[in-house]
């Protein structure tokens, strides 16, 4: 009798649907047209607001609490903004890549790793006179902000990126943020480690032949530029170790 009364109660009805609101494969798929239960919290709501579903194993569907599993970013970084600095002199856009697809390819690579927050800026530095007009128009149309730095100024693109990175770090210290550096220059070590110590999450893309051991150690995720520009996967831990070994052998030789 007591069981029957409990089953008819408002409390029982309110919780009886929780078992089918969360799906580890599809995020929130509730059978009712209602808001997700409060047990999921505000973090889950933020994940729902992004452009695609979170990785299956960054959310514990049994409880709705975000968890971190090996190979995925911390939950607060999954939805954090990503700022990109790109040295177009040392990491040129290959002729085989459609410039209109570049931003989408970067988005794809970030999504695959679990970074599903917005890309809030892509800042490209270098001698834009080397880039044809059609490509420049495509980059501008897709949201890439280019800054022309003429030849003859030694490492000027590198220095400009350094200044921008440090200024950004000072202005955004209170919020989680992913910083992606795309460059073949190896002289960012101190700056990246300083940003990392301020709890910024460092993402790195470099040409394979110009990989830098100190920069790799500062980054949580590493790509080879020729792969990233096509929307390819990040390096696995084993591949990172192989790259470090190759870099060490190159530097010693």
**All domains of the chain, ordered by start, with CATH?**
2-66 (no CATH), 75-252 (3.40.50.1010)
CA distance 212 to 75: 28
Q: Give the H/E segment covering residue 82.
A: strand 81-87
How much is the pLDDT for 154?
56
Residue 169: Cβ within 10 Å count: 18
Tell me the three state secondary structure of residue 182.
Answer: strand
How much is the pLDDT for 118?
95
How much is the pLDDT for 22?
37
Q: Which of 96, 94, 98, 56 is nearest to 78 (CA)?
A: 56
Regions in the chain scoring below 70 on pLDDT: 1-72, 152-155
How much is the pLDDT for 73?
72
Cα first-last separation, the chain: 83
**Average pLDDT in the chain:** 77
How much is the pLDDT for 157?
84
Q: Which of 144, 81, 84, 72 is nearest to 116 (CA)?
A: 81
How much is the pLDDT for 17?
45
CA distance 60 to 93: 39
From the DSSP assignment, how many helices (H) and strands (E) are in the chain? 11, 10
């Amino acid at each position: 009798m007591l069981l029957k009364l409990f089953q008819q109660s408002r409390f029982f009805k309110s919780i009886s649907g929780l078992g089918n609101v969360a799906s580890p494969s599809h995020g929130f798929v509730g059978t009712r047209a209602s808001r997700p239960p409060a047990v999921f919290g505000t973090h889950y709501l933020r994940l729902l607001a992004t452009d695609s579903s979170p990785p299956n194993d960054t959310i514990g569907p049994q409880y709705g609490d975000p968890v971190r599993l090996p190979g995925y970013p911390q939950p607060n970084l999954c939805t954090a903004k990503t700022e990109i600095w790109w040295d177009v002199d040392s990491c040129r856009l290959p002729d085989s890549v459609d410039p209109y697809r570049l931003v989408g390819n970067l988005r794809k690579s970030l999504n695959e790793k679990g970074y599903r927050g917005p890309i809030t800026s892509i800042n490209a530095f270098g001698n834009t006179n080397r880039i044809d007009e059609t490509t420049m128009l495509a980059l501008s149309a897709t949201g890439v902000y280019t800054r022309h730095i003429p030849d003859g100024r030694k490492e000027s693109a590198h220095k400009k990126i350094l200044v921008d990175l440090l200024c950004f770090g000072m202005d955004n210290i209170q919020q989680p943020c992913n910083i992606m550096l795309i460059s073949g220059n190896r002289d960012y070590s101190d700056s990246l480690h300083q940003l990392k110590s301020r709890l910024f999450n460092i993402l790195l893309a470099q040409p394979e032949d110009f990989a830098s051991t100190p920069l790799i150690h500062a980054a949580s995720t590493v790509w080879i530029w020729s792969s990233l520009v096509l929307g390819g996967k990040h390096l696995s831990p084993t591949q990172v170790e192989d790259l470090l070994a190759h870099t060490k052998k190159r530097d010693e030789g």
